[in-house]
Amino acid sequence: MSHQSDLIADDINAYLEAHENKSLLRFITCGSVDDGKSTLIGRLLYDSKMIFEDQLEALESDSKRHGTQGDQIDFALLVDGLAAEREQGITIDVAYRFFSTDRRKFIVADTPGHEQYTRNMATGASTADLAILMIDARKGILTQTRRHSFIASSLGIRKLILCINKMDLVEYDEAVFNNIEQDFLEFANELNAGIEIQAIPVSALAGDNITSISDNTPWYTGPSLMEYLETVPVGDERKAAPFRMPVQWVNRPNLDFRGFSGQIASGSIKPGDKIKTLPSAKETTVERVVVHGGDLAEGIAGQSVTLTFADEVDTSRGDVICAANDPAEVSDQFQARILWMSDDAMLPGRRYLLKTGAKTVTALVSGLKYRIDVNDLQDRPAKTLNLNEVGVCTLSLDQAIAFDPYDVNRETGGFILIDRLTNNTVGLGMLDFALRRAGNIHWQALDVDRETLASQKDQKPAVLWFTGLSGSGKSTIANALQKKLFSMGKHTFVLDGDNVRHGLNRDLGFTDEDRVENIRRVSSVAKLMTDAGLITLVSFISPFRSERRMARNLMSEGEFIEIHVDTPLSVAEERDVKGLYKRARAGEIKNFTGIDSPYEAPKDPEITIDTVNNTPESAADEIVRWMEAKGLLDA
């Protein structure tokens, strides 16, 4: 894997510069396991002699060292090398290869076929112009064939080569080819409109129809694979689209220069053009288009540039600079398609980080509308998304972003979701459109604000969040604390897990996704109560750290106090006032926290209560002393 990283880092710029006058085609090879992707790439490189000189020298050296001669042996060495890379773990990432012919230069993303690596296929497809979909002629269309086709089309690929491979193993039977082609075309009717499909019968191992038409398929009248790759029109959609440039950083080396740097995502820009920065919607004029070594008369899509403005406009990293007469949209609520890329399921109601361009915001997956079945492309009801599943969701962001629908502009309509705990990428998404309600709903300004309401009550608003196992004593301590605060003249309210499930959350069960939604709703209610100036006591098992962090992030700084009611499972089971542990052990209650559903204890709570050695009253006194020390009981 380090070899591949070094290749990309060291060779890509030199490669592109050496062939800068040729058009560039980015394509991906995909399909199911053992359909022949590596063999195809090896054949393309070998037959056309299109590999770098150092690679050719390495092959020649290997040939001499092994005492081998002949083209077939050299080709075998190349294919064996590609296969060896996969055995050494290259399949975990996308392997990029660079080559060129007299007509065109190419970057190919060689992606693994295993289902568990579908996320890597999607990564390669996200920047590709064309996909080569491999199909074993003996097996026909498989589930992974359909999955890769759907993902490729969803990610904006509009040209697809259907390489029906291993034709030599079916005796170059025209009927086999025709049947597979027809089956795929019927499936492709449900894919996005406008996809151009070219089916080619090939044998990657024997070289049939790779760089020239084979005598073994006299019934085939189309182009060879390389002829198609060299002549297929490379779309200029990015250059023709309206100007967009996400700001990657603000460049200010001295007081006399202030520029905004980034890669032009689409369109072109030149001095004198009027632009608008989003989401602020401020307008100005471009003064200079600067690159290393001087100024440009015009910058075009794909170039990295620094723009200077005629006016001082407040623009930051993550903002998007647009053509003033055709700007992007701005919203904080969307419908989106998401390919889930994590072993842990996507749970509606959970918050993730959303990264688009250079902008990172917090996103709430507020609803999963349906899952898309890759076998027949039909919508299926679902509550969660699992690894490699695709679904249509609604997203709510904590701030507005500039965007274009993905089908209009891949650069400004795509995003990734990141787990806030592990920082792992868990989803790849495409924005479809802004929700109408995002533009219709606005915050209403109120004259009596939260500070005024809290001052009236001679206290500071706070959320005391009690978390712990069932039977740990959360509700008992919260009840004791409320009585003490009431006697002190403080204004409080208790949100108890059991009580809330009789009303607000009576429609929720105890699955992981329902627990997430349970806490999301309660967190929102607790937030409203702090706006009313109340001290709110929340008593919920709330087993997941991520949801407790979500609740904390809703509150103002210092208003969320996490109280871990720390009781060992054995002690909680001994108490078992409600008889729940006994029923859970008997299998009568599923998804019971501590038995067959996990409890994630707080790592750094503000307060920890030991209920083994303390009474509820002494625990309440301890919390009151903590609140007094922090000044929460004073206005």
Q: What is the total residue count of the chain?
A: 635
Peptide bond between residue 279 and the one before it cis (omega within 30 degrees of 0):
yes
Helix, coil or strand: residue 262: strand
CA distance 57 to 172: 35
93 close to 121: Cβ distance less than 8 angstroms: no
465 neighbors 563 (Cβ within 8 angstroms): yes
437 vs 441: CA distance, rounded Å: 6
Known active-site residue 542: yes
How far, in whole angstroms, is CA 230 from its chain's centroid?
33
Contacts of 635 (CB under 8 A, 6+ apart): 454, 455, 457, 458, 459, 460
The answer to whether the beta carbons of residues 489 and 632 sit under 8 Å apart is no
The string over 581-602, giving b where at least 16 C-beta atoms fall within 10 Å of a residue's C-beta and e elsewhere, is: beebeeeebeebbbbebebeeb
**Alpha-carbon gap, residue 110 to 28, rounded angstroms:** 6
DSSP H helices in 221-310: 225-231, 237-240
User: Of the listed 542, 546, 556, 597, which one is catalytic?
Assistant: 542
Cα–Cα distance measured from residue 347 to residue 515, given in angstroms and rounded to the nearest whole number: 10
* Cα separation values, 574 from 266, 301, 543, 610, 617, Å: 65, 67, 20, 16, 21
Assess contact for 41 and 31: CB atoms under 8 A.
no
267-288 burial, b at 16+ Cβ within 10 Å, e below that, comes to bbbebebebbbbbeebebebeb
State both tokens at 547. Answer: 């949801």
Q: Which token pair is 237?
A: 């959609």
Can you tell me the distance from the alpha carbon of 58 to that of 80, in angstroms, rounded to the nearest whole number?
Answer: 13
- Name the strand (E) or helix (H) holding 327: none
Catalytic residues: 542
